Amino acid sequence: MHGRPRPLVARTRERHQQIHERIERGDSLRAIARELHLSHGTVLRFARAADVEQLLVAATHRPSLIDDYRLSLHHRWTEGCTNAAALTREIQQLGCRGDINTVRRHLRPYRTGTIPTEAPLPHLTVRRVTDWIMRRPERLTDTERKCLDELCERSPALATTAQYARRLAAMVRERRSEHLALDIWLADVRLDGQREFRTLAAGIRRDHAAVLAALTIEPEPLEVNEARQWRVTS
């Protein structure tokens, strides 16, 4: 960055330095919050960032209309399609509201030879990625599927989490337990699942019979359930 830093960047750097200096001298986070007139959550966020650059990425990023389509643009460029107008039409058909000028700005580094070594991902949140994992795979858009595949390729831990979550979700949705699917899932999680899944699996084992029954009993048709409720309330 050349010249005078932007106020937001300068303030972020200064605040990060102030908080970490006080942490090093032994101040508690609550004491730091009181002294600097900041919320406890803000101090905690800065304290967790060992490097100020982690904060600057979030602080200086501004969502773009094509954020959700950067991965698609990257793949199309590497496939040989470098025409901005054609690429704009393609992502607009996918739902993008950005125009050709937005696409041209995004592609400028590509034209100068600065092509990312890793495919760029859209702006992500935990809720968004969780939704992709828990949704039926056939209901994902091509862009969502590519993004999730890219994330799982970069993070083996996420790939494992997605696999176990989808298997469990399928059992719940389809009410199936053939070939002892639940017991196989529990055994697999016990061997190499994430800590959160192992905790969930321990709870399922404690109520194994009830969980298995819930997975194997077909839900009543709506009209039967309504009739039962009517008899109870009559």
Q: State both tokens at 76.
A: 């199309």
Question: What are 145-186's pLDDT values in tens digits?
Answer: 888 888 888 788 888 888 888 888 888 877 655 547 888 888
Domain assignment present for residue 162? The answer is: yes
Other residues' Cβ atoms within 10 Å of the Cβ of residue 74: 21
| Closest listed residue to residue 121, CA positions, set 60, 57, 69 | 69
Is residue 80 located within the same domain as residue 49?
no
Domain assignment present for residue 148? The answer is: no
Q: State both tokens at 1.
A: 């960055």
Q: For residues 37 and 74, is the Cβ–Cβ distance under 8 A? A: no
- Residue 120 is predicted with a pLDDT of 67
Domain assignment present for residue 150? The answer is: no
Domain assignment present for residue 145? The answer is: no
If phi > 0 it is left, if psi is from -120 to 50 it is alpha, else beta; for residue 26 that is: left
Q: How many structural domains does the chain have?
A: 3
What mean pLDDT value characterizes the chain? 80
Distant-in-sequence, close-in-space partners of 172: CB < 8 Å, separation ≥ 6: 215
Question: What are 112-153's pLDDT values in tens digits?
Answer: 877 776 666 666 677 878 888 888 888 888 778 888 888 888
Tell me: pLDDT of 225 over 70: no
Question: What are 15-48's pLDDT values in tens digits?
Answer: 999 999 999 999 999 999 999 999 998 999 899 8
User: What angle is formed at CA 123 by the lines to CA 122 and CA 126, rounded to 5 degrees?
Assistant: 115
Is residue 159 located within the same domain as residue 182?
yes
Is residue 71 located within the same domain as residue 124?
yes
Q: Which domain holds residue 164?
A: 155-216
Domain assignment present for residue 102? The answer is: yes
- Residue 99 is predicted with a pLDDT of 92
Q: For residues 148 and 155, is the Cβ–Cβ distance under 8 A? A: no
Question: What are 38-88's pLDDT values in tens digits?
Answer: 999 899 989 988 777 667 655 555 567 787 788 788 888 988 999 999 999
With a threshold of 0.75, does the pTM exceed it? no
CA 166 to CA 171: how far, in whole Å?
9
Domain assignment present for residue 125? The answer is: yes
